[in-house]
Amino acid sequence: MTEQRRDAGHGAGRDELGRAWGELVETARRTVTDGLVVGTSGNVSVRVGDTVLVTPSGVAYDRLRPEDALGVDLEGRRVIGDLAPTSELPMHLAIYRTTGATAVVHTHAVHATAVSTLVPELPAVHYMTGVLGGPVRVAPYALYGTEELAENMLRALSDRTGCLLQNHGTVTYGDSLSQAYDRTAQLEWMCRLWLTATAVPGHTPSLLSAAHLREAQEKLRGYGQPTF
């Protein structure tokens, strides 16, 4: 990396930025492999100190190399690389400015986008709704890449770690790229589940109550292997 890159991140070293970029590229490629985006749609970012590494605009993820690393500060000023950042940069920066997020994943997942056109909120059809903080809201439509879309998204994300964007896709965030990605995958799966259940003629899916979700959230906090 150049001297500019070493200085970026306010304390983040070249190796740390390099590792973060590699993980970002791997995550972006995974969104394509898992069918959550097509072509160069969707975008991924990760925060390292005060620098936000982000996928560039219009570049196929399988073509990204270490020397293509792209980073901006929290005001959107480019501090690493020469490529233009994703057009959805306002959404990513809005999340970093208002939450403790370390990573953001935005996709155009098919089932989630379909749900965003049908209801103002994804009903609580599964206890994994608790992972996202509760029933997932749909942010009203606004043109992609605009501050209006970022503002609509923030309102939908209140007390949540993910939301749907009307006629557009999904946004999730987390403490790591793996966590943000997992939340995206869970959201797409729940949307597919709801669409499948509602497609059965003469039947209405049962939904979980707020008490059920609180109980699940509490139990999910201890999910996985203990850390020592």
What are the residue numbers of the active site?
88
CA atoms within 13 A on the CB side of 90: 14
145, 160, 180: which is closest to 46 by C-alpha? 180
Sign of the torsion angle spanned by Cα atoms 219, 225, 227, 228: positive
CA separation for the pair 56, 121 (Å, rounded) = 30
Distance CA 123, CA 191 (A): 9
**Alpha-carbon torsion angle 213, 219, 224, 228, nearest 10:** 140
Q: Which segments of the chain does DSSP mark as H helices, in order?
A: 3-7, 14-33, 89-98, 110-116, 147-156, 177-198, 210-220
Separation CA 20–CA 129 (nearest Å):
28
CB 79 within 8 A of CB 97: no
